[in-house]
């Protein structure tokens, strides 16, 4: 939570933004439109990659379907906490969440640059530290390279590891805060919780700033597989593979 506060976007303003948007979304939900695409138009109020000025909402288009499905279930079942997402997924059956995940995994709109947010404040020393963590990790702190799991191009890996480019730095910082406080959880062993516990806040800010400043390839797709085994076991990956 401390990370959210420092990011310049206190959690309360995010909650208020969600409530304001909820008014826009509710009628769409109540009207029960015909097609899946029409029903999911409400999601784009926040997750559209077009005209996105907000420094917090994550891109969901083009992420691996198994990853999206895991997250929708995590919100529904209390392993992630954002109120509007909890509301949107409440009582939805697994089969429908799977359908929604497949729909967004197959969307590939172009990547706009990630919103500047806190990354704009990073100096060259922080960016160098961030790049080193992403590419090589930090063996002294037992932190594997982010690329060892998220892929050499950072586009994610099928079926359940997300890409890291095009995400706002403030969103990434908030996720690390949530792993540290256990507000965000995944199936055990929860590799990101382990990594978050080993990274201090300066390292998180460095990595998120460098990531947010990279320009994603417009044709980026998740890798089909990694060339080597994961450096730490991740329960969410094993679960999705079944
Ligand atoms: C009011 C804004 C809002 C609406 C509407 C909304 N979301 Fe979200 N969504 C968010 C925010 C903010 C997050 C990040 C929450 C957090 O900090 O964990 C999120 C997270 C997610 C994630 C996890 C992303 C990731 O990379 O881990 C998925 C998947 C998702 N939303 C899907 C949907 C779907 C599907 C819909 C429509 C049914 C939807 N969202 C509607 C705001 C919204
Ligand atoms: C051992 C493999 C592994 C390593 C190393 C790793 N990650 Fe992850 N990461 C994952 C998995 C698996 C997930 C999906 C977790 C889930 O399902 O909630 C994930 C999720 C994430 C997310 C959530 C993305 C979103 O859209 O919400 C972020 C951010 C992230 N990792 C950043 C990093 C950074 C930065 C590093 C390097 C410091 C790193 N990861 C290293 C496996 C790894």
Task: Tell which one of 150, 171, 239 to mutate to probe ligand 2, the residue whose CB is within 8 A of the most ligand atoms.
Answer: 150
Q: Look at residue 234 in the predicted model and tell me its pLDDT.
A: 97
Q: What single-letter DSSP state applies at residue 109?
A: P
Supply 152's token pair.
């050499």
End-to-end CA distance of the chain: 33
| Weakly modelled stretches of the chain, pLDDT under 70 | 1-33, 49-54, 240-242
Q: Look at residue 27 in the predicted model and tell me its pLDDT.
A: 42
Q: Look at residue 50 in the predicted model and tell me its pLDDT.
A: 62
Q: Look at residue 112 in the predicted model and tell me its pLDDT.
A: 78
pTM: 0.89
Q: Look at residue 238 in the predicted model and tell me its pLDDT.
A: 80
**Ligand with minimal distance to 234 CA:** 2
For residues 70 and 142, what is the distance between their CA atoms, to the nearest angstrom? 26
Pocket lined around ligand 2, Cβ cut-off 6 Å: 58, 67, 70, 133, 143-144, 146, 148-150, 161-162, 164, 167, 172, 175, 186, 191-192, 195, 207, 230-232, 234, 236-237
The set of residues, in sequence order, having a beta carbon less than 8 Å from that of 225 and lying 6+ positions away, is: 157, 158
Q: Could you give the angle at which helices 94-105 and 65-76 cross, rounded to 10 degrees? A: 140
Supply 59's token pair.
């891109």
- CA of residue 232 to ligand 1 center, whole Å: 27
Place of tokens 């015909």: 34
What the chain holds in terms of domains, given with CATH numbers, is 2-105 (1.10.760.10), 117-241 (1.10.760.10)
């Amino acid at each position: 939570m401390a990370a959210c506060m420092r990011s310049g976007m206190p959690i309360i303003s995010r909650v208020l933004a969600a409530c304001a948007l909820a008014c826009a979304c509710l009628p769409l939900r109540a009207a029960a439109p015909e097609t899946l695409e029409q029903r999911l138009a409400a999601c784009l109020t926040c997750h559209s990659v077009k005209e996105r000025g907000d420094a917090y909402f994550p891109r969901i288009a083009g992420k691996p379907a198994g990853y999206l499905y895991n997250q929708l279930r995590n919100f529904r079942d209390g392993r992630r906490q954002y109120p509007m997402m909890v509301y949107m997924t409440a009582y939805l059956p697994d089969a429908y969440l799977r359908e929604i995940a497949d729909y967004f995994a197959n969307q590939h709109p172009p990547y706009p640059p990630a919103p500047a947010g806190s990354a704009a404040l990073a100096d060259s020393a922080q960016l160098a530290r961030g790049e080193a963590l992403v590419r090589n990790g930090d063996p002294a702190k037992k932190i594997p390279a982010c690329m060892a799991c998220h892929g050499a191009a950072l586009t994610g890996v099928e079926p359940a590891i997300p890409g890291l480019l095009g995400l706002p730095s403030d969103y990434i910082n908030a996720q690390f805060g949530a792993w540290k406080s256990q507000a965000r959880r995944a199936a055990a062993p929860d590799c990101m919780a382990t990594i978050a516990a080993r990274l201090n806040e300066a390292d998180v800010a460095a990595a998120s700033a460098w990531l947010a400043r990279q320009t994603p390839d417009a044709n980026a797709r998740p890798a089909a597989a990694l060339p080597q085994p994961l450096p730490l076991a991740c329960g969410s990956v094993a679960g999705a593979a079944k």
